Structure 1
C-alpha cells in the first residue's frame, strides 16, 4: 500500500480551486442543513434531484468568480444598464424542490421589478443572468437546474473555457455571444482575465473600458 505524506495532502488541498461534498438528502433535510449552517458562510449549497452539494470555493475559484463579476459590472456601466447584483443569494424553488447559490446572479432586464426589495422567487422572476464557476467536477446537472428555475441566461466557466447558454423553449442552447451583451465576444473575457494576471486588475479594467468605448 502506498501512503501519501500528510504534507503532500495539505499541499494538494491548498492547490485545489474548490472543495466539494455531495450528500443524498430529501428537501426537508436540505432545508435543515441550510438553516443549521446559517447565512454567514463561504460554502455554497446546491440541491437538485435529491443531491445536496456543499462547495467551498478556494482562491482560484474566488478569483475567477470575482473577475467575471467585475467584467459584467463594467459592461453594464458602459452600456448604461441598471443592475441588481445577487452574488450567492439562495435561489430556492420549493415547488420544484431545487435550490442553488450561484457564484454570481444579476437582474438586468428585470431589474426594475426587484429594485429596492428582497427577492422572493415565489412572486419575482429569476435573475436574468447567472454565473457558475465549476473548475472541479460537480455531481449536479446545473444546466437542467437553472433551466427549471427559469434563468434566461447562464454562464459556466471551468477555469479555461466560458460557455454561454440561452434558455429557449425551456432548455438551454449554447450560444457564442451573450444575449444580454450583444457585440461582446467571449474572447474579450479571456483577454480581460489574461490582462488581470499579467498587467494587474486596475489596468485590465481600464483597457476593457477603452475597448468597449471604441466598439460603441
Structure 2
C-alpha cells in the first residue's frame, strides 16, 4: 500500500478529488491537518471524501449571493446568525459538508455566541448555499444532516431545494422569503454585478427589496 501525505496533493482551481474508503477518524485528521484557513471545500459521505478547489469566479458569486441574502434578511427584519463555510458533521451518521455560505434563521436565537457546532445537540443551518456543481456526495450530506433549505447556483441559474419527508424537492419559492421571486431575481443581480460592480448592484438590490415590501 502506498501512503501519500496531504501536502503531496494539489487540486487545481475548478477541480475536485474523490477519495474512497476514508474512515471517520481519517476525515477528522484531514480536517485538522488542513485547518480552517483554506480555500478548499470538503464533503464526506459514508466513507467517500470529496475535496474541491473553487475558481475565483465561484468565490465572487458566493460572496455576492451571501450579500444579497443578508440584505433580504435586514430589509425584511428577519434575525439571523451567519456561519459561512463552517464544517457541519455528524459521526453517528458518517456525513460532513462545508457549504459556501450558511445561515441560521428560524433557529438563530440558540446559535448566538456559538463558536463550535455539535449537530448532535445543535440544529443544522436553516439555509445553506452552494455555488457551481453540487455533487451527489454533497447532496447526500445535506439531506442526511437535514438542512431544511439548500440553494444551488450554477450556470447563472438558481435552484431552491426544500427538505420534505427527508428528501429534497425543487421549489420555485423559498420557505424563508415567502413569495418573493428568489429564483428569478438572485441570478439577475449576480449577473448585474459582473458589469455594474458589487456596490452599485447591492444598492440596486436593496432598493428592489424595499419596493417589494411597499407593494405587499
**TM-score class, shorter:** 0.7 to 0.9
Measured after TM superposition, the shift of residue 134 of structure 1 is 2.4
- Give the length in aligned residue pairs: 199
Q: Using the alignment, how far apart are the partners of 1:98 and 1:134 within structure 2?
A: 20
Secondary structure (helix, strand or coil) at the match of 2:170 reads strand
Residue 84 of structure 2 aligns with which residue? Answer: 87
2:168 aligned counterpart, secondary structure: strand
Matches within 5 A, 1:122-161: 122-135=120-133, 138=135, 140-161=136-157
Answer whether contact 1:131 1:156 (CA < 8 A) is retained: yes
Q: CA deviation at 1:144?
A: 2.6
Task: Give the equivalent residue in structure 2 for 1:61.
Answer: 58
Contact 1:144–1:171 at 8 Å: present in 2 too?
no
Is 2:72 aligned against 1:75? yes
- Aligned equivalents of 2:83 and 2:119: distance in 1? 13
- TM-aligned CA deviation for residue 19 of structure 1: 2.4
1:113: Cα distance to partner? 1.1
RMSD: 1.5
CA contact (8 A) 1:30 1:52 kept: yes
Deviations 1:114-173 (A, max 9, x none): 1112232121100000011124x74x3433321110111011112322110111111111
Which SS does the other structure have where 2:176 is aligned? coil
Is 1:105–2:102 an aligned residue pair?
yes
1: CA distance between counterparts of 2:187 and 2:175?
18
Structure 1 segments (4+ residues) deviating >4 Å = none
Equivalent position of 2:119 in the other structure: 121
- For the 8 Å contact 1:64–1:159, the answer to whether it is kept is no
Counterpart of 1:177 (choices 156, 165, 173) is: 173
Of 201, 204, 207, the residue aligned with 1:207 is 204
CA distance change for structure 1 residues 45 and 141 in 2, over 3 Å: closer, same or farther? closer
Describe the SS at the equivalent of 1:215.
Answer: helix
Structure 1: segments with no counterpart, 5+ residues: 1-12
**What is the CA–CA distance in structure 1 between the aligned matches of 2:38 and 2:208, rounded to whole Å?**
37
**Deviates further, 66-75 or 157-166:** 157-166
**How far 1:65 moved relative to its partner?**
0.8
Gaps of 5+ in 2: 1-11
Give, in whole Å, the separation in 1 of the partners of 2:154 and 2:188: 16
TM-score by length of 2: 0.87
**TM-superposed deviation, 1:49:** 2.7
Provide the rounded CA distance (Å) in 1 between the counterparts of 2:137 and 2:38. Answer: 23
